[in-house]
């Protein structure tokens, strides 16, 4: 699976684009990608999705969005999003992530 965040958000599976969900799910995915291979707390995700005025249902909504993004990204039973103490971590190989490839250029 390849992730592209430089330009429009795209996810490719074996070279074919994957249809991403609604905007909030895409924002959540982008937030995880911006912190690829790091734990992102639920509070950070809430901030990314709603800023300083989250709705009272924000925690539940993050769970729903995360569940949907997981369904979109899971292939052959392999879920790239791990639940970690205090948050979530999206495992991404550097060569499959355009922003990481760009950072390695001289």
Q: How far is CA 51 from the centre of its chain?
A: 17
Among residues 79, 99, 77, which one has the least CA distance to residue 30?
Answer: 99
Residue 103 has pLDDT above 90, yes or no: no
Average pLDDT value over all residues in the chain: 91
Instruction: Count other C-beta atoms under 10 Å from residue 97's C-beta.
Output: 21
Tokens at 29, concatenated: 């995915």
CATH number of 2-104: 1.10.10.10
C-alpha distance from residue 44 to each of 8, 34, 55, 78 (Å): 22, 12, 14, 25
Residue 106 has pLDDT above 70, yes or no: no
Looking at residues 33-47, what average pLDDT do you find? 95
| CA separation for the pair 38, 18 (Å, rounded) | 23
pTM confidence score: 0.90
């Amino acid at each position: 699976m390849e992730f592209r965040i430089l330009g429009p958000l795209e996810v490719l599976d074996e070279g074919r684009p994957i249809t991403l969900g609604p905007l909030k799910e895409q924002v959540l995915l982008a937030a995880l990608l911006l912190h690829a291979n790091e734990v992102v707390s639920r509070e950070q995700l809430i901030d990314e999705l709603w800023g300083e005025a989250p709705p009272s249902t924000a925690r539940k909504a993050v769970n729903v969005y995360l569940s949907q993004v997981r369904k979109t990204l899971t292939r052959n039973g392999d879920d790239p999003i791990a639940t970690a103490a205090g948050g979530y971590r999206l495992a991404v190989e550097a060569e499959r992530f355009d922003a990481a490839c760009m950072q390695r250029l001289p």
